[in-house]
Amino acid sequence: MSHYSWIVTSLFLGENISLPSGVQRIEYLESSGTQYIDTGYKFAGNSSHEFEFAFSQDQNYGAILWGQNSGGSEVFFTGANGWINGANFNFKGLPANRLYPKNKYKVVVNAINGSANMSVNGTLVVTSTGNSNNYKELLFVGSTNDAIGNYVKMRYYSYKRYTNGTLNLDLIPVRVGQTGALYNKVNGQLLYNAGTGDFILGPDI
C-alpha cells in the first residue's frame, strides 16, 4: 500500500456519545494551514498528552502541539515535515523517526516530575529530562513566547490531555452547521478556530 493513500480506521466503534443539539460528530478536523485551536492550557506542571493525527502532506516545518520560549526550549514539539523532531525539553538533534503523510499515527507524550518521553504507535522513540515552561498549548500550530507561527496542514482525529493523571481534555472533531470545532467530552465545551479561514470537515460519523 502506498504511504500516500489515506489510511482510515474507525476510532469510535462501539462508542456512544450524546452531543448537544446541532452538534454533529465528524471523523476528523483538518487544517489547511491557517487554522489552529487554543486548548486553554499551558505546559507547566505534570501532564500527559495523547493525540491521533495524520499529516496532510510533507511540509518544511510546523507543529501539532508546541510551546517554546525565544531561546528554543521546546516543549512537546512534533514536527510536520514528516519527522518527529522532538517531544520535550530540547529533544532537537536526536535521531528522527519517519512519519509518512496521510498515514494516521497515535503519539503519547508524558512529562512527569521533570522527565519526559514520547511514543509513536506504542513504540518509545525518545526520552529526556528537564523543566517544562509556561507557554500555551496550541493544536495545529506552534508558538514562541506565545506568538503564533509554524502552521501545519494535518488532520486531528482525537486529543486527550491529563494533569497528574486527571483527564482535562478529551477532544473529538465535530461540526456545528458547517463550522468545524473540537468538542471536549469532559465538560461539554466547544473549541473553535482561533486562526483564519475554515477547517476542512471530515465525513459525519
Q: What are the φ and ψ backbone dihedral angles of 194, each rounded to 5 degrees? A: -100, 0
Q: Which amino acid belongs to residue 64?
A: I
The CA distance from 172 to 17, in Å, is: 10
Q: Which range scores top for mean pLDDT: 13-27, 40-54, 88-102, 163-177?
A: 163-177
CA nearest neighbour of 51 among 165, 140, 146: 140
- This prediction has a pTM of 0.80
pLDDT cut 90: percent of the chain above it? 34
* Nearest residue to 52 (alpha-carbon basis) of 167, 144, 170: 170
Q: Tell me: the pLDDT tens digits for 113-149?
A: 767 777 778 887 766 665 456 777 888 887 666 778 7
Domain ranges of the chain: 38-165
Cα distances from 91 to residues 25, 80, 101, in angstroms, run 35, 15, 22
Which architecture does CATH list for 38-165?
Answer: Sandwich (2.60)
| Core vs surface per residue 153-173: b (16+ CB within 10 A) or e | bbbbbbbbbbeeeeebbbbbb
